[in-house]
Chains A and B, each alone.
Chain A
Amino acid sequence: MLQIKNLHASIDGKEILKGLTLDIPDGQVHAIMGPNGSGKSTLSYVIAGREGYEVTGGQILLDGKDIMEMAPEERAAAGLFLAFQYPVEIPGVAMTMFLKTAINGIRKQRGEAEIDALDFLKLMKKKQAELGMSDEMMKRAVNVGFSGGEKKRNEVLQMAMLEPRMAVLDETDSGLDIDALKVVADGVNKLRSDKRSFLVITHYQRLLDYIKPDVVHVMAAGKIVKTGGPELAHELEKTGYAEYVGDAA
Chain B
Amino acid sequence: MTAATVTKFPEKSPYQPDTAEGILRAYDAFVADIDDQPKWLLDLRKSSLKEFKRRGIPTPRIEGWKFTNLLPLVKTYGDKVGQIKVSHDKVDDVVITPLMQMLDQDWVKAALSEDMPPLQHNTENTLWHLGNIYMRDGIVIDVPANKEISKPLELLTSAADGAFFTDRMVIRVQKNARLTIVEDHWSKGAFWKNRLTHIVLEPGARLTHIRMQDDSDKSVYTQTTNVHVGRDAVYDAVAYCAGAALSRNQIRVTLDDTGAECHLNGANLLRGEQLGDTTILVEHRAPHCQSYQNIRTVLDGRAHGVFQGKVHVHQPAQKTDGYQLSRALLLSEGAEMDTKPELEIYADDVKCSHGATTGQLDQEPLFYMQSRGIDQKAAKALLIQAFIAEVFDKVQDEGLKTSLERKVEAWLKL
Q: Which residues of A contact B (CB under 8 A)?
A: 48-51, 71-73, 75-77, 81-82, 84, 87-93, 97-98, 101-103, 105-106, 109, 141, 158, 162
26 inter-chain pairs at a CB distance below 8 angstroms, sorted by A residue, are A49-B370, A49-B371, A51-B363, A71-B370, A71-B376, A72-B367, A73-B375, A73-B379, A75-B371, A76-B371, A76-B373, A88-B367, A88-B368, A90-B386, A91-B386, A93-B382, A93-B383, A101-B382, A102-B369, A102-B374, A105-B373, A105-B378, A106-B373, A109-B375, A162-B372, A162-B373
Q: Give the nearest-CB partner of A94 in chain B.
A: B386
A73 cross-chain contacts in B, Cβ below 8 A: 370-376, 379
B residues near A51, Cβ cutoff 8 Å = 363, 367
Main secondary structure of the interface of B (DSSP, over half): helix
Are A90 and B369 neighbours in the complex by a CB distance under 8 Å? yes
* Residue in chain A with minimal CB distance to B386: A92
Shortest CB-to-CB span from B385 to chain A, Å, is: 7
**Number of A-B pairs whose CB atoms are under 8 Å?**
80
Chain B's nearest CB lies how many Å from the CB of A88? 4
User: Please, which residue of chain B has its CB at the minimum distance from the CB of A72?
Assistant: B370
Q: Report how far A77 CA is from B379 CA in the complex, Å.
A: 15
- In-complex Cβ contact of B378 among A49, A88, A101 (8 A): A101
The reply on B364 being an interface residue by CB < 8 A is: yes
User: Which residues does chain B contribute within 8 Å of A158, judged by CB atoms?
Assistant: 372
Complex contacts, B382 vs chain A, CB 8 Å = 90, 93, 97-98, 101
CA distance A75 to B367 in the complex (A): 12
Known contacts A90-B383, A92-B389, A101-B378; is A50 also within 8 Å of B373 by CB? no
Residues of B within 8 A of A82 (CB): 371
Q: B390: CB under 8 A from chain A?
A: yes
**B372 x A102 contact (CB < 8 A):** yes
Bound complex: CA A249 to CA B135 (Å): 83
CB distance from B9 to the nearest CB of A (A): 44
The yes or no answer to B387 lying at the interface (CB within 8 A) is yes
Q: Closest residue of chain B to A89, judged by CB?
A: B365
Q: List 17 extra interface pairs beyond A158-B372, A162-B372, CB under 8 A.
A: A50-B371, A73-B373, A73-B376, A73-B379, A76-B373, A82-B371, A88-B367, A88-B368, A90-B368, A90-B383, A92-B387, A93-B383, A102-B369, A102-B372, A102-B373, A105-B373, A109-B375
Interface residues of B in 338-378 (CB under 8 A from A): 363-365, 367-376, 378
A48 to B369, CA, bound (A): 12
Chain B 367-411 interface residues, beta-carbon cutoff 8 Å to A: 367-376, 378-379, 382-383, 385-387, 389-390
Name the distance in Å between A163's Cβ and chain B's nearest Cβ: 11
B372 with A92: CB separation less than 8 A: no
Nearest chain A residue, comparing its CB with the CB of B385: A92
Chain A residues closer than 8 Å to B378, beta-carbon distance: 101, 105
Query: B373, A93: Cβ atoms under 8 Å?
Result: no
Q: How far is the CA of A98 from the CA of B371 in the complex (A)?
A: 12
**Considering only CB atoms, which chain B residue lies closest to A88 in the complex?**
B368
A207 to B390, CA, bound (A): 40
Chain A residue, CB-CB nearest to B387: A92
Assess whether B385 is in contact with A105, with CB atoms less than 8 Å apart. no
Residues of A close to B365: CB separation below 8 A:
88-90, 93
B371 lies within 8 A of A48 (CB): yes
Chain B residues contacting A71 (CB-CB under 8 Å) are: 370, 375-376
Given the complex, which residues of A lie within 8 Å of B369, measured CB to CB?
A: 90, 98, 101-102
For A92, list chain B residues within 8 Å (CB).
Answer: 383, 385-387, 389-390
Q: In the complex, which residue of chain B has the Cβ closest to the Cβ of A80?
A: B371
Instruction: Write the chain B residue with the least CB distance to A107.
Output: B373
Residues on the B chain within 8 Å of A90, using CB: 365, 368-369, 382-383, 386
Do B372 and A105 have beta carbons less than 8 Å apart? yes
Write the nearest CB–CB distance from A231 to chain B, whole angstroms: 33
State whether A84 touches B372 (Cβ < 8 A): no
B387 touches A76 (CB 8 A): no
Q: How far is the CB of B143 from chain A (nearest CB, A)?
A: 34
Q: Distance in Å from the Cβ of A81 to the closest Cβ of chain B?
A: 8
How far is it, in angstroms, between the C-alpha of A75 and the C-alpha of B375 when the chains are bound?
11
Task: Name the residue in B370, B386, B390 with the highest tally of chain A Cβ atoms < 10 Å from its Cβ.
Answer: B370
B373: A residues at CB distance < 8 A = 73, 76-77, 102-103, 105-106, 109, 162
In the assembled complex, the CB of A71 is this many whole angstroms from the nearest CB of chain B, namely: 7
Nearest-Cβ distance from residue B76 to partner chain A, whole angstroms: 42
A137 → chain B closest CB, angstroms: 17
| Shortest beta-carbon distance from B389 to chain A in Å | 5
Given contacts A71-B376, A88-B365, contact A93 B386 (CB under 8 A): yes
Within the assembled complex, what's the spacing in Å between the Cα atoms of A221 and B269?
A: 48
